[in-house]
């Protein structure tokens, strides 16, 4: 349907009515509701029709999940309501009605661009579905038009590392009921019947420097091969201003490259570090080597994962994603090869309002991200808040680091940073790592929460590489 809407010249929309049988007001078979008229003291009165933006905002049509693709993909729409007919072009700030011609549009009915994945998901999940199991079917037209077949359970391959960091606007996690044969895996936002939020891609803290996890979609039959998802950050390197360790905002691109370097140096990637990066150097020298050797952070990350040219050798595929684990996967499962460690969860103990992750010595490693925690599922786990251990998986390195008091957490700022051969601190922000906390049963993992830790704190716990099946 996405292609049909997008390639149409004009889409007719019945904005009024509670269902599809209501018809088009003002056409044969469906009369409009008459406007109120009156007369007083020789003056004739006529009720003014409601503004188009108001009609759109309050209409049943704009609250239905299945109509979302009409508004986003149609190049032009002709809207029929009980109070008139309106005409609008996609992504235009004006519309036309029967009486006044061009009018300014206050309510962005069709203003979300296809490139705004976070905006599309957030708006779509505010809408209602008669059958809740239609969640992905009703969104598929937009996904197919924007990404072709390069998406899986609502998450696009090209932005997977950021899309996997979805959370809930109000913190409640009502699970979407399964409907055979449809399944909704815990790693996908489609598993939750609530409004979804994603980090905005234009914010530095939302961008991903490198994926620490190697994501794979297992084949549905033995004739197909593994689908290895691409690394983010394919844009060519950008330069910052003069090196200034006291101004982190002026050194975002530099920090991103050097954070990936330090993660590689300290074993967060399985590939061999190039000799030119092993010896001591200043940050400026390291950065010059990185920019000369790789055109983008994605190229650097590919080599860090032993994927020259974006291809993983067959023997590495067999090692990282064993055939017996592939056979254990059902529809909706992902396989992920990444570093992990087992940690405990401890709620609100002199840690601001943040729930912390502890190692076996009760030392704080990181913290859970609010509105990403499925409390209902978590509290079903025995001793979840005192003694139970969870697998914690490394996901990615965000573009922006942490300042001293980030996320309400106070930690040893000096110990969390690195120094170069000249004794210069990396920058005033500490590189950090995005994490996922999962519950593991019978070899299958389900998402419980997202978390963060400073990169150096994560490395200190000596996480090991493992392959997980995520459902």
Is pTM beyond 0.85? Reply is: yes
What SS3 state is found at 258? helix
Looking at residue 113, its pLDDT comes to: 80
What SS3 state is found at 360? coil
* Backbone dihedral region for residue 392 (phi beyond 0: left; psi -120 to 50: alpha; all else: beta): beta
244-281 per-position pLDDT tens digit: 445 555 567 888 889 999 999 999 999 999 999 988 89
Looking at residue 3, its pLDDT comes to: 80
Looking at residue 288, its pLDDT comes to: 93
* Alpha carbon separation from 432 to 31, 205, 215, 408 (Å, rounded): 61, 11, 20, 15
79 Cβ neighbours under 8 A, 6+ residues apart:
13, 15, 52, 56, 85, 86, 87, 88
96 Cβ neighbours under 8 A, 6+ residues apart:
86, 87, 88, 102, 103
Looking at residue 247, its pLDDT comes to: 52
Closest by Cα among 87, 70, 71 to 79 = 87
Strands 214-217 and 208-211: unpaired
* Alpha carbon separation from 228 to 87, 140, 218, 282, 314 (Å, rounded): 44, 21, 9, 35, 12
Looking at residue 414, its pLDDT comes to: 59
* Helix-, strand-, coil-residue percentages of the chain, each rounded to 5: 30, 25, 45
Which helix (H) or strand (E) is 56 found in, with range? helix 52-58
Looking at residue 224, its pLDDT comes to: 77
Strands 155-156 and 214-217: unpaired
| Tokens standing for residue 152 | 């899986």
Rounded CA separation 61/80 (Å): 11
412-431 per-position pLDDT tens digit: 555 667 888 888 887 657 78
Residues of the chain with pLDDT under 50: 244-245, 405, 408, 410
């Amino acid at each position: 349907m996405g292609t049909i809407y997008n390639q149409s010249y004009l889409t007719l929309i019945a904005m009024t009515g509670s269902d599809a049988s209501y018809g088009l007001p003002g056409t044969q078979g469906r009369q409009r509701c008459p406007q109120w008229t009156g007369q007083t003291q020789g003056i004739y009165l006529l009720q003014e029709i409601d503004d188009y933006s108001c009609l759109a905002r309050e209409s049943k049509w704009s609250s239905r999940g299945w109509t979302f693709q009409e508004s986003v993909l149609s190049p032009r729409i002709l809207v029929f309501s009980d109070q008139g007919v309106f005409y609008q072009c996609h992504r235009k700030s004006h519309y036309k009605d029967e009486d006044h011609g061009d009018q300014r549009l206050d309510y962005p009915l069709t203003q979300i661009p296809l490139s705004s994945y976070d905006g599309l998901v957030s708006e779509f999940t505010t809408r209602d579905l008669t059958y809740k199991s239609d969640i992905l079917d009703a969104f598929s037209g937009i996904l197919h038009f924007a990404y072709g077949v390069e998406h899986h359970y609502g998450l696009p391959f090209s932005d997977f590392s950021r899309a996997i960091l979805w959370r809930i606007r109000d913190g409640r996690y009502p699970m979407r009921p399964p409907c055979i044969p449809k399944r909704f895996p815990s790693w996908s936002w489609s598993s939750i019947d609530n409004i979804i939020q994603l980090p905005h891609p234009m914010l530095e803290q939302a961008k991903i420097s490198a994926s620490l996890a190697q994501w794979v979609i297992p084949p549905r039959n033995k004739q197909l091969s593994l689908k290895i998802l691409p690394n983010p950050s394919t844009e060519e390197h950008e330069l910052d201003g003069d090196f200034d360790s006291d101004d982190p905002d002026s050194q975002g691109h530099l920090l991103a490259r050097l954070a990936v370097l330090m993660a590689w140096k300290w074993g967060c990637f399985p590939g061999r570090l190039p000799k030119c990066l092993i010896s001591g150097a200043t940050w400026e020298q390291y950065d010059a080597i990185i920019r000369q050797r790789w055109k983008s952070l994605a190229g650097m990350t590919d080599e860090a994962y032993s994927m020259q040219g974006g291809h993983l050798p067959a023997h590495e595929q067999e090692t990282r994603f064993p055939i017996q684990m592939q056979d254990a996967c059902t529809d909706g499962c992902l396989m992920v090869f990444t570093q992990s460690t087992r940690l405990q969860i401890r709620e609100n103990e002199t840690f601001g309002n943040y729930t912390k992750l502890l190692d076996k010595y009760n030392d704080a490693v990181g913290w859970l991200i609010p509105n990403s925690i499925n409390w209902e599922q978590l509290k079903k786990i025995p001793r979840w808040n005192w003694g139970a251990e969870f697998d914690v998986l490394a996901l990615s390195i965000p573009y922006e680091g942490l300042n001293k008091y980030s996320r309400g957490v106070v930690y040893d700022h000096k110990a969390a940073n690195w120094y170069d051969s000249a004794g210069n601190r990396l920058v005033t922000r500490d590189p950090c790592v995005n994490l996922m906390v999962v519950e593991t049963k019978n070899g299958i993992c389900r998402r419980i929460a997202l978390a963060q830790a400073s990169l150096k704190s994560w490395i200190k716990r000596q996480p090991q590489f493992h392959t997980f099946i995520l459902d």
